[in-house]
């Protein structure tokens, strides 16, 4: 099972505080492991504050209060931009094309373009990422730590972050709030 371009949804029993009630977008999954971004954990840093730290002027003031998300516990000082492939996504340096719709970039040039109103129409900015070693995510799936569903751009970019966990599960027809986190034997 390849989870690239899937959302993984933390089950209610997942007690890890880093991933409790989280939704992560899997950017890459192969024989070496998996890499994803948690898309529903805003930090206390706004887009304007991030740009200020990077000495990038913000021309498009309507973006100032956009949240920057905690993408995961790895490389928390490094920024990642999950974005739509409007036009030519390859124009950004350090870009991984995930599929026809989405790419992942990690370079300053895309932040400058977004700040100038010349970036992709849909984007989500994170600090850090979530990573799984070879076989780890598959093992966690068999332990019922995660549900997975094909990614939905509307959930990633347009659903309020506090509703993404429930909305992703609803794509499977599941009200995740009705699932018990307790494990038992019949």
Q: What is the CATH number of the domain that holds 172?
A: 3.40.1740.10
CA distance 28 to 14: 22
Within-domain flag for 1: no
The contacts of residue 163 (CB under 8 Å, 6+ apart) are none
Q: Is there a domain that residue 186 lies in?
A: no
Judge whether 113 lies within some domain.
yes
> Which tens digits make up the pLDDT trace of 111-158?
999 999 999 999 999 999 999 999 999 999 999 899 999 999 999 999
| Residue 106: domain span | 6-178
Q: Is residue 184 part of a domain?
A: no
Q: What angle do CA 171, 175, 176 make, to 5 degrees?
A: 100
pLDDT band at residue 184 under the 50/70/90 scheme: very low
Total number of domains constituting the chain: 1
H-run or E-run covering 142: helix 136-142
- 61 lies in a domain? yes
Q: Would residue 118 count as lying in a domain?
A: yes
For residue 183, tell me if it sits in a domain. no
CA 179 to chain centre: 23
Structural domain contains residue 130: yes
E strands of the chain, at which residues?
6-10, 23-30, 33-38, 42-46, 67-70, 74-84, 95-97, 102-105, 123-133, 146-150
pLDDT digits (tens, 9 = 90+) for 17-71: 889 999 999 999 999 999 999 999 999 999 999 999 999 999 989 999 999 999 9
């Amino acid at each position: 099972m390849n989870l690239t371009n899937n959302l993984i949804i933390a089950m209610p029993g997942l007690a890890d505080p880093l991933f409790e009630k989280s939704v992560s977008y899997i950017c890459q999954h192969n024989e070496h492991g998996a890499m994803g971004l948690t898309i529903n954990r805003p930090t206390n840093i706004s887009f304007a504050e991030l740009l200020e730290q990077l000495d990038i002027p913000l021309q498009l003031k309507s973006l100032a209060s956009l949240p920057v998300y905690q993408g995961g516990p790895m490389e928390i000082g490094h920024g990642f931009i999950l974005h739509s492939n409007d036009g030519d996504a390859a124009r950004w340096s350090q870009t991984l094309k995930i599929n026809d719709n989405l790419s992942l970039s990690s370079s300053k040039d895309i932040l400058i373009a977004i700040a100038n109103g010349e970036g992709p129409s849909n984007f989500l900015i994170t600090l850090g990422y979530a990573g799984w070693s070879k076989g780890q995510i598959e093992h966690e799936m068999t332990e019922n730590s995660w549900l997975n569903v094909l990614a939905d751009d509307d959930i990633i970019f347009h659903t309020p972050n506090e509703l993404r966990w429930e909305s992703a599960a609803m794509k499977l027809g599941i009200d995740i709030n009705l699932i018990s986190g307790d494990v038992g034997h019949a």
